[in-house]
Structure 1
Amino acid sequence: MAENKDKKVLNVPNLRFSEFEGEGEESTIEKQFELYSGNTPSRINKELFNGTINWISSGELKEHYIYSTKERISQEAANNLKLLSVGTFVIAIYGLEAEGVRGTGSITQEPSTISQACMAFTPKGEITNEFLYSWYKKHGHVIGVKYAQGTKQQNLSYDILEKFKISYPNVKEQDKLNLFFSLIDKRISTQNKIIEKLETLIKGIAQNIVRYNKPNVRLSDCLSCSSSTLQESDVSEHGTYPVYGANGVVGYLDNYNTENEAIYIIKDGSGVGSTSYVTGKCSATGTLNILRAKEGYSLQYLYYILKVFNFEPYKTGMAIPHIYFKDYGKAKIFCPSYSKQLQYAKLLSAIDNELSAEQKFLTVLILLKQYLLRQMFI
């Protein structure tokens, strides 16, 4: 690959394939693409959503390519929408205040319609949709942060998107870039599938333990529960020991309220009932309860059982759901002999370790792609 780190040539990326040279072109989204936003058929008529035609919602634009959609509409519903051809680039334009929505987009692999929360791009110039996909993967997050409008809900519109300038090389160089990044995306997609299979395996083993054995002991007989008064505002960016909140590590302290091993369980909020297994010296914030194993019980085994435990009957509260150990602690689970618990825990933790390694490799792939996008696109 050739480098242009010193910007000696204008309108050329920092890194490009060595067989290409010369400056690229600059245009606008408006000149290069036709933009279209869809609509939502009336849900009063249920037959409109009982069909075979793809209808894309903004939450489905996670992968490079989108094939089938969660909802399919009838021909009657599609008559009031534009049917997008295969290869159309579609982005999410509503709800960009949410971290996981900004910068998302996919290329259709089936003729599709879209909701009003999406924007479709049809080429009418020299830029391919595959090139636009990668360009948007580089710039989409910043576009969402800086240019989306609205108070509670941050949205993009045609008027905003059409004005963006885009630099691009000739079609031959675009095609090579498109192939290169599609191969990276395929590897990322494969890695996601590996992770999903490992997660499914762990869940399946734990569910089978529960399904094929009769509950024989109350949770309160296996576990003790304590709470924390620590608030996120009490923690620092730097310190000796990590502090966990509902979304993982939220900061650090020079002291701790947990050592050895514990299960942290979210006791209120949207993630209520979610568990994490921790070891060593650390702390939990007040949104978590701290569970420890009583004598004769394996905490790791209990952790995997709790991951498939149904907390729904024990949730209280309308706006903000809560769970209390005094309630779900009365529920019975299956606990075999201590030696058997250790065997199950060893098996499941081995798979979990493999899962962690695969997740770390996925992070490496994503960071590599982000770096290459920054270097190979203007």
Structure 2
Amino acid sequence: MANNNNTKNLNVPNLRFPEFKGEWEKCKLEECVVFLDGKRKPIKSSERVSEQKLYPYYGASGIIDYIDDYLFDGKFILLSEDGANILDRNYRVAFIAEGKIWVNNHAHVLQSNDNIDINFIAEKLESLDYSIYNTGTTMPKLNQEVCRNIPLWLPPTEEQVKIGTLLSLLNERITTQSKIIEKYESLIKGINEKLLINKKEYTTYRLSDICEIRSGYSGTQLTGTQGLMVSRIETISKHCINLDKVGYVKPFDSSADFKLHIGDILFSNINSVQYIGNTAFVDREYDLYHGMNLLRLIPRKIVEPFYVFLLLNTAKYKIHFQSICNKAISQASINQTELGKTVIHIPDLLYQKQICQLFNSLYNKKNIENLYLQAL
């Protein structure tokens, strides 16, 4: 790759394959692709009766079903027409669908022209900020007229192909890497359920016997980014602490009582029912304090903190927490007393340590794979 920072070409990327020179040309999306939206056809879920499930049925975000017939046969770009993901970008807005497919009316169907590399255009469309093209009010939407006029800068076809091929190969590797991580997650979940089941030799406790359970600081949050960082519901992300979702409060006299330490467990006790019981394990020292809508479990010396965290994340306890929460208010909740009554079966400390070592190895390996995924 060559660096173009010092070139006089203002409409080419900073990073470029060295064999290509000259400027890119400006055009509109409708000059690069043919819109095939008129051939789309939605089918209600109740009417998608399929015996063989031969062909994928696509919506705005990808495959949502399989049916026994198809509308398109070839290689196409599907561009989301509506949905929150147009702005949230939790998954791709523009993606390639190939072969015999059926598409509903929630994705634009684009067929690239002969001089246009489909992989290049797909990645170019995926890279755009669609907030400036959104025509929806209650729900984000990209109507066809707006999409047709999206401006693009295009290199010669040969350069398009080289860029498109590179990015396509990277996407394939990313997909493979994601599947590797999914397998680790499945392995962790499976071992979790098998190793942490109750056995006769386990000792029975109540959760309040093995953990001190504290409520969080309920002071007024600031809207800025100054003061003490305070955890809240959004802090919990896939059993980890997400520092991008913390709140801030002014320093207060008893702040030391709310400081989080290694081994603490954050427990979501006020949320919608499906999120009740979500937990995060404090695995390092953060400059972070315990905030509202989360209970803080401080394991006592008779248990390994990480073992308690693993146990609370088994399906058995997730179901238990959702069954005992108070659903009579706008948000479901569990108070400290009810949570403390939860019956816990604990093996001896040596066995707990062995289990923790195994899971730490698995989590570390998954974290390494996640770092590689982020690099890709």
Superposition TM-score tier, normalisation by shorter sequence: 0.7 to 0.9
Match of 1:93 in 2: 81
Q: 1:346 aligns with which of 357, 362, 365?
A: 357
What letter is aligned with 1:123?
A: S
Q: How far is 1:54 from its partner?
A: 0.9
Unaligned runs of 5+ in 2: 236-242
What letter is aligned with 1:347?
A: L
Match of 2:294 in 1: 288
What per-residue deviation string (whole Å, max 9, x for no partner) do you get for residues 296-329 of structure 1?
Answer: 1221101011122323322432753333443344
- CA distance in 2 between counterparts of 1:268 and 1:252 reads 19
Identify if the C-alpha distance between structure 1 residues 312 and 49 changes in structure 2 by more than 3 Å, giving closer, same or farther: farther
Match of 2:216 in 1: 228
TM superposition score normalised by structure 1:
0.81
- CA distance in 1 between counterparts of 2:370 and 2:28 reads 38
For the 8 Å contact 2:231–2:292, the answer to whether it is kept is no
Match of 1:276 in 2: 280
What per-residue deviation string (whole Å, max 9, x for no partner) do you get for residues 332-358 of structure 1?
Answer: 333101221122122212322332333
Match of 1:202 in 2: 188
Match of 2:9 in 1: 9
For the 8 Å contact 2:192–2:310, the answer to whether it is kept is yes
Match of 1:312 in 2: 322
Aligned residues: 347
Match of 1:375 in 2: none
- CA distance in 2 between counterparts of 1:312 and 1:340 reads 29
Identify if the C-alpha distance between structure 1 residues 222 and 57 changes in structure 2 by more than 3 Å, giving closer, same or farther: farther
Q: How far is 1:289 from its partner?
A: 0.9
What per-residue deviation string (whole Å, max 9, x for no partner) do you get for residues 64-99 of structure 1?
Answer: xxxxx3411243xx5xxxx23342111222123651
For the 8 Å contact 2:80–2:107, the answer to whether it is kept is yes
Secondary structure at the residue paired with 2:99?
A: coil
Quick check: 1:362 aligned with 2:373? yes
Identify if the C-alpha distance between structure 1 residues 235 and 306 changes in structure 2 by more than 3 Å, giving closer, same or farther: farther
Match of 1:110 in 2: 99
Q: How far is 1:160 from its partner?
A: 0.8
Identify if the C-alpha distance between structure 1 residues 165 and 100 changes in structure 2 by more than 3 Å, giving closer, same or farther: closer
Secondary structure at the residue paired with 2:346?
A: coil
Q: How far is 1:251 from its partner?
A: 4.2
Match of 1:34 in 2: 34
- CA distance in 2 between counterparts of 1:22 and 1:298 reads 63
For the 8 Å contact 1:191–1:362, the answer to whether it is kept is yes
Match of 1:376 in 2: none
For the 8 Å contact 1:33–1:121, the answer to whether it is kept is yes
- CA distance in 2 between counterparts of 1:84 and 1:327 reads 56
What per-residue deviation string (whole Å, max 9, x for no partner) do you get for residues 15-59 of structure 1?
Answer: 211112223333211122122443431334352698432111223
What letter is aligned with 2:341?
A: K
Identify if the C-alpha distance between structure 1 residues 112 and 322 changes in structure 2 by more than 3 Å, giving closer, same or farther: farther
Once the two structures are superposed, the pairs formed by residues 51-200 of structure 1 within 5 Å of their partners are: 51-60=53-62, 69-75=63-69, 78=70, 83-96=71-84, 99-101=88-90, 104-139=93-128, 142-143=129-130, 145-200=131-186
- CA distance in 2 between counterparts of 1:327 and 1:152 reads 39
**Which is bigger in relative contact order (C-alpha 8 A, separation at least 6)?**
1
Identify if the C-alpha distance between structure 1 residues 121 and 242 changes in structure 2 by more than 3 Å, giving closer, same or farther: same
What per-residue deviation string (whole Å, max 9, x for no partner) do you get for residues 172-231 of structure 1?
Answer: 211111121122223322332232222222222211123463673333332232111336
Secondary structure at the residue paired with 2:165?
A: helix
For the 8 Å contact 1:24–1:167, the answer to whether it is kept is yes
What letter is aligned with 1:262?
A: D
For the 8 Å contact 1:217–1:334, the answer to whether it is kept is yes
Identify if the C-alpha distance between structure 1 residues 363 and 244 changes in structure 2 by more than 3 Å, giving closer, same or farther: farther
- CA distance in 1 between counterparts of 2:354 and 2:301 reads 17
- CA distance in 2 between counterparts of 1:268 and 1:129 reads 47
TM superposition score normalised by structure 2:
0.82
Match of 2:239 in 1: none
Match of 2:348 in 1: 337
What letter is aligned with 1:245?
A: R
Quick check: 1:218 aligned with 2:198? no
- CA distance in 2 between counterparts of 1:109 and 1:198 reads 29
Secondary structure at the residue paired with 1:108?
A: strand
- CA distance in 2 between counterparts of 1:324 and 1:236 reads 30
Point out the more displaced range, 351-360 or 25-34.
Answer: 351-360
Aligned-pair identity in percent equals: 24
For the 8 Å contact 1:42–1:48, the answer to whether it is kept is no
Match of 1:66 in 2: none
What per-residue deviation string (whole Å, max 9, x for no partner) do you get for residues 257-281 of structure 1?
Answer: 1343310011122432211011435
Quick check: 1:237 aligned with 2:225? yes
Point out the more displaced range, 202-211 or 230-239.
Answer: 230-239
- CA distance in 2 between counterparts of 1:157 and 1:111 reads 25
- CA distance in 1 between counterparts of 2:98 and 2:114 reads 21
What letter is aligned with 1:156?
A: L
What letter is aligned with 2:67?
A: I
Identify if the C-alpha distance between structure 1 residues 33 and 199 changes in structure 2 by more than 3 Å, giving closer, same or farther: same
